[in-house]
Structure 1
Amino acid sequence: MNKEEYIKTLTDQIRCKMARPEVAREIEDHIEDQTRAFMSEGMNRQEAESAALKDMGNPVDAGVELDKVHRPAMPWGMIALIIVLSVAGYVFQYILNSRNIEAGGDGFFVSQRQIWFTVFGILVMIAVCFADYTRIAARARELMIGITVLIVLGGQFFSLNINGSRQWIGIPGGWVVTIPLVLMLTVYRRWYRLRRKAVLAGIGAFVVGLPLVTACYYWFFGADYQRERLLFYLSPAVGWDKQPQEVVSNGIEYVRAILGNSSLIGRGNGVPDIADMPELSEYLLAGVAGYYGILAAVLLAGLLLFLLFRFLRISLRQRNQLGMLMGAGCSAAFLIEVGGYLLNNFGIMYMGNYCPFLTYGGTGTMVTYVLMGIMLSICRYQNTAPERRTTGSLFGIRRPAEKMKD
């Protein structure tokens, strides 16, 4: 049996076709290294290769053992947790919305369609989980251009015009901040020949400095209402002229009243009337704390944070570079959005952030489940996904297949 026959027999035992090329390369490199070692002892190449193959053992037995390692592992536990969070989020939305209407409120935008968005989103998520996420690398540039064009044209021709403002698919702040964070990760992992400390310091200064520069511009050159808005974010109870505001934000005022009267379990005494709740989608956790107890809100938020940190931890441990970047980027963006959402629900400052599973809306729900599906796919194929060496691009520019080393 020669080397090619040995490798084919071995890889035929691996059921996951995605893993076979990578395993074949690793086995071939190992055989070649061992062959050179025997040749250095005086053997000719044919003898050295035969000895190397003999040292490798039976190809069928070796392939069966490798099949146990290089096998997709369906992350059923994380899927179950996502379903639990989806059901809990919708149930709390529906119940609190019903209570608001019963108490004489106008209700919120929770509709029967939301449950169908949720069910369909979960099915899409599972389908994406089974897909090979590494194929995105072969068409990443084209996909980015297509999505950008879709957003621009969609905003121009399909957006809603409300008081002169076009409402379409917005890009939340968490996703904007994620871009430099992902860039910092690639620099930290030494994927580029750069001075790591200097570049990391520069990116960090940009991330911190840009909001400060923007705030200073609005403070010194902006209108009065812009300074008022800045001070409101920093100290919601004080106006820009250092005088107490007559009206604190309805949302923050309501949240502080809820949290100040909440009980550990069950509805708290003195909780404000739910008919006065300003916006369920942005203050769901506060509503849960007030009407079902602080423990229920903490459990809901804790499960969500556990899921996202688990995704982040798995992503950072990926051998596949694309999987690490995609998983870490999605996890970090969700965590930033959830962080802003918690600030809303702690009554600290109003951020207006989107929160997966707790914020309703068709577009946001579907985008959430698609991204969750990608992260689940990264988890599923973490032991099998190869580094894509395809180098084609839209403009014929060949991309390097390997990362740069110092």
Structure 2
Amino acid sequence: MEEKEYLQTLGEQILNPHARTHVLEEIKEHIDEQMQDYIDTGMSPDAAEKEAVRQMGDPVAAGTELNRIHRPRFPGVLFGIAVVLTLSGIFMQYILYGSEPLNTTYSNTAFMQHAVFYQVIGFGIILFGMFSNYMCLSKYSWFLYGLFLGFALLACFFPGTFSFWQTRTFSYYLCLLYPLSYALLLYSNREKGWKTIVWLHVLSLLFFGAILSHTSGFVWPPVLAFVFLSVLLSGICIQKRILPGSKKVLWCWTLLPYIGIAALAGSLFLRPQTYLYDRLLTALGLQHTDDGPGFTRLALQYEQTRFSLFGGSSVSDRLPREELYSTYLLHSIFLWFGIAAGILIIAALAFFALYSMHCALRQSNRLAMLLGTAASGVLLLELFNYVLTNFGINLFYTASVPFLSYGLTGTVANSILVGILLGIIRNRNVLYEKESGPAVIPDTGTV
């Protein structure tokens, strides 16, 4: 049998086109190398080809086994958690909204329609991400960064485009997604070594400089999350030799700029009478006011005395009404549905984020490793900030989590993160890098 016929027969057994392309490339390289070895020993090209093909075994049996190994693995458990949390979030929001006085903005029916509509959009994004080829994102890393920077500059040059509240909300979620752009740029420019890290510092400074110029302290949670994740992503690249060069030099370029920026930011924003300074004092309980962050913290602490194991308390009458179903939904769940329900919600979200990061760090595909670590890291830090905020340690403006928080912008942003993660986990045995190793991936478990 000739090489072309063998590859065609083997390829017909592999159903997934992405896996088929990669596997056929691997098999062809192996046959060509074996042919050359036979030719070097004195065989004719035709005889060498036939012998190399014969050594590969039966193409139908080999293709069937490769199809079994290299096929998408539906992330059933994680997808099930996403469905259950989404339905639970809609139900809980509806119940909580219905417990309010009748002079609210929307009726129960209208609120339910909005909540379901937002979640349908979110699930559409999740499904698109799960069934898409995330590898193509690396080709558009610079274009995607341009979009991030363009949106960040929009409010600078056109301050009247959005209202103040719309601007800060949009900026918050734009910063929340930026680690994905950082991971893509880090991967697509990995051959340049320390120069890549320097360029990423410059690009990130431009982006966050534009954001902070018109949103002040409202976006500090995702900014701090980005600093942590950028160090983590760069560290992965350094330790796994994805970035060439001396480890000491690479670590210096990674950490030194942040040390300088931290010192400068501390001197500018942690002075008395500044926004973050006042937020820090109120979070630590060293001061409080009749409104604003101090009042919110006292309201949360007062209502925590009404928590019970299985709920039964009325919905909060002290917190901003429009935030009871988004920023402070967890607090409302503890009040109305009980401590047990609130702990289950936190545990499910934590499992989703932690297991996603576990899967990302085990990827042999380096883009999947970086992109998955960025997405799961954002979700994990977002959950941490959300829990702190709902228990009164609210240093910042807002917080949200996937599946539960009400609102279109937050739902879209979190769904992008979830969709990318499920796509990476689903395709861990399908999408590869040519230089990342053999065709067979050891991690074949399904979640």
TM-score by length of 2: 0.74
Equivalent in the alignment of 2:245: 194
**2:135 — aligned with what?**
134
Partner residue in 2 for 1:396: none
Asked whether the 8 Å contact 2:3–2:53 carries over to 1, the reply is yes
Q: Which runs of 5+ in 1 are unaligned?
A: 389-400
Number of residue pairs aligned between Structure 1 and Structure 2 = 379
Do structure 1's residue 265 and structure 2's residue 310 form an aligned pair?
yes
Greater shift in the superposed pair: 368-377 or 34-43: 34-43
Name the structure 2 match of 1:344.
Answer: 389
The CA distance in 2 between the partners of 1:275 and 1:189, in whole Å, is: 52
Matched with 1:394 is none
Matched, 1:378 2:420: no
RMSD: 3.4
Tell whether 2:373 aligns with 1:328: yes
Structure-2 change in CA distance of 1:231 and 1:320 (3 Å): closer
- Please tell me whether the aligned partners of residues 160 and 167 of structure 1 are also in contact (alpha carbons under 8 angstroms): no
- Distance in 2 of aligned mates of 1:329 and 1:3: 42
CA positional deviation for 1:334: 1.6
The structure 2 residue matched to 1:387, chosen from 433, 438, 444, is 433
For residues 246 and 368 of structure 1, do their structure 2 counterparts lie closer, same or farther at Cα, with a shift above 3 Å needed? closer
User: Paired residue for 1:275?
Assistant: 317
* 1:262 shift after superposition: 1.8
Map Cα deviations across residues 151-184 of structure 1 (whole Å, 9 max, x no partner). Answer: 5347737743349x94462124436333443233
Q: Deviation at 1:40?
A: 6.6
- Counterpart of 2:407? 361
Deviations, residues 118-159 of structure 1 (Å, cap 9, x unaligned) = 123213321332222222222222233234324534773774
Counterparts of 2:50 and 2:269, CA distance in 1 = 75
Q: CA deviation at 1:303?
A: 0.5
Matched ranges for 1:4-403 at <5 A: 4-35=4-35, 38=38, 43=43, 46-101=46-101, 111=111, 112-153=113-154, 156=158, 159-162=161-164, 166-167=167-168, 169-170=170-171, 171-172=175-176, 173-174=221-222, 176-177=226-227, 178-200=229-251, 203-204=254-255, 206-207=257-258, 210-219=261-270, 222=271, 224-226=273-275, 228-229=277-278, 231-232=280-281, 235=284, 237-239=285-287, 249-267=294-312, 274-278=316-320, 279-280=323-324, 281-351=326-396, 352-387=398-433
Q: In the aligned structure 2, how far is the partner of 1:193 from the partner of 1:108? A: 59
CA spacing shift, 1:283–1:167, aligned 2, 3 Å: closer
Gaps of 5+ in 2: 177-220, 438-447
Contact 1:97/1:107 (8 A) holds in 2: no
C-alpha distance after superposition, 1:221-241 (max 9, x if no partner): x45244751542562x214xx
Counterparts of 2:259 and 2:306, CA distance in 1: 36
Equivalent-residue separation in structure 2 for 1:205 and 1:230 (angstroms): 27
Quick check: 11-20 or 26-35, which moved more? 26-35
Equivalent residues of 1:35, 1:48 under 8 A apart: yes
Within 2, Cα distance between the matches of 1:369 and 1:185? 25
Mark the CA change 1:212 to 1:255 in structure 2 (over 3 Å): closer, same or farther. Answer: farther
The alignment partner of 2:405 has SS state of coil
Q: Is the 8 A contact 1:257 1:272 kept in 2?
A: no
Return closer, same or farther for 1:92/1:211 CA change in 2, 3 Å cut-off.
farther
- Indicate how the Cα distance of structure 1 residues 266 and 82 shifts in structure 2: closer, same or farther if over 3 A, else same: same
Residue-by-residue CA offset, 1:190-242 (whole Å, 9 max, x unaligned): 111232245336534655664454123334xx45244751542562x214xxx
Indicate the structure (1 or 2) with the bigger Cα radius of gyration.
Answer: 1
Distance of 2:94 and 2:433 partners within structure 1:
44
12 and 227 in structure 1: CA distance in 2 versus 1, 3 angstrom threshold: closer
Q: How far apart are the structure 2 equivalents of 1:227 and 1:305?
A: 28
The Cα of 1:13 is off from its aligned counterpart by 1.5
Paired with 1:202 and 1:234, the residues of 2 have a C-alpha distance of 33
Contact 1:254/1:277 (8 A) holds in 2:
yes
Give the direction of change, closer, same or farther, for the CA distance of 1:150–1:209 in structure 2 (3 Å limit).
Answer: closer
Distance 1:207 1:379 in 2: 32
One-letter code aligned to 2:144: L
The alignment-based identity, stated in percent, is: 27
Letter in 2 for 1:258: E
